[in-house]
Chain A
């Protein structure tokens, strides 16, 4: 009986440890991800309490006309058209909600300089549903991003 009590006490301590584990569920978004078109790879990092995703690799990194690395040439703000695309934060300002969702963020499409409202849902640890929309979620499109790992 004593042994059983002590064992259960130990088990309860372990379970409590899981419940008060430090670290943020939202940090599961951190890592490198690839959009479905395979043309870019995006690294998610945290600044303050929000999550941001920046382009770290481009399938076609250089502008075909100039041969120079691509920049944000479709940005509506003319003074910011020189920002390099490699390193550009296309996902911004995501706040972790519950239930594997991050919201309040935006996604930027460098192909046309448009910014869309965006929500992220982690459907499994290696898969994200990134939904960009205008106004209401119904007017939008979901893209599935997959987590990347370095090949051994």
Chain B
């Protein structure tokens, strides 16, 4: 067989192999998961930043709404929306800023800020935070659990306890 034709055939075989391998890889899928969590501060609270945290156990089946297939890999997770609301409309009174962060006990996972609302306009009793466009947190979702931390910046001292419910939407890419 002439050398040129042989090389072309070998090249074509490699190309087909690459195509097959790429095609056989599971396609990337996206799912928007909603999560709710409560954050509590025990009064009296003082002017300035006051943190509260929630330990979130990662349950992929419930997040994805499907039983988890073996070999499933989360490739990217970003926060799409974050809303914090009090039991009553006046709960947000006196809160000047809200910052949401994610943290882990794993030494290789640094804490990341996820969303902020500053200033907080409390008339509606709901605070819709602006999520970071860059924070990617798939590594946290690969852990068994992670912490969500809400820093409430109070503009005045407050005697009563504070309880806020957080509703978070995560865009989860997986394959």
A and B directly contacting (CB within 8 A): yes
Nearest CB of B to A42, in Å: 12
Question: Which residues on the B side are within 8 Å of A82 (C-beta)?
Answer: 97, 116-118, 130
**Main SS of chain A's interface residues?**
strand
Question: Which residues on the B side are within 8 Å of A71 (C-beta)?
Answer: 118
Question: Which residues on the B side are within 8 Å of A77 (C-beta)?
Answer: 113, 132-135
A52 and B118 contacting across the interface, CB-CB below 8 Å:
no
Residue of A whose beta carbon sits closest to that of B109: A93
How far is A101 from B103 in the complex, measured between Cα atoms in Å?
21
How far is A148 from B91 in the complex, measured between Cα atoms in Å?
33
Q: Does B125 contact A (CB under 8 A)?
A: no
Nearest CB of B to A123, in Å: 23
Q: Which of B38-72 contact A (CB under 8 A)?
A: 48-49, 51, 53
A93 and B147 contacting across the interface, CB-CB below 8 Å:
no
A48-B104, A93-B111 known; A84+B97 contact, CB < 8 A = yes
A106 and B113 contacting across the interface, CB-CB below 8 Å:
no
B111 and A56 contacting across the interface, CB-CB below 8 Å:
no
Question: Which residues on the B side are within 8 Å of A131 (C-beta)?
Answer: none
Q: Does B153 contact A (CB under 8 A)?
A: yes
Nearest CB of B to A63, in Å: 13
A87 and B99 contacting across the interface, CB-CB below 8 Å:
yes
Q: Does A109 contact B (CB under 8 A)?
A: no
Nearest CB of A to B50, in Å: 8
B48 and A56 contacting across the interface, CB-CB below 8 Å:
yes
Q: Does B110 contact A (CB under 8 A)?
A: yes
Nearest CB of B to A11, in Å: 38
Q: How large is the interface on A (under 10, 10 to 19, 20 to 34, 35 or more residues)?
A: 20 to 34
Q: Which of A60-107 contact B (CB under 8 A)?
A: 71, 76-80, 82-84, 86-87, 89, 92-93, 95, 104, 106
* Interface membership of chain B positions 114-153, coded 1 if the CB is closer than 8 angstroms to chain A and 0 otherwise: 0111100000000000111111000000000001010101
How far is A76 from B132 in the complex, measured between Cα atoms in Å?
11
How far is A104 from B115 in the complex, measured between Cα atoms in Å?
24
A84 and B103 contacting across the interface, CB-CB below 8 Å:
no
Nearest CB of B to A51, in Å: 11
Residue of A whose beta carbon sits closest to that of B154: A87
Q: Does B23 contact A (CB under 8 A)?
A: no
Nearest CB of B to A81, in Å: 9
Question: Which residues on the B side are within 8 Å of A56 (C-beta)?
Answer: 48-49
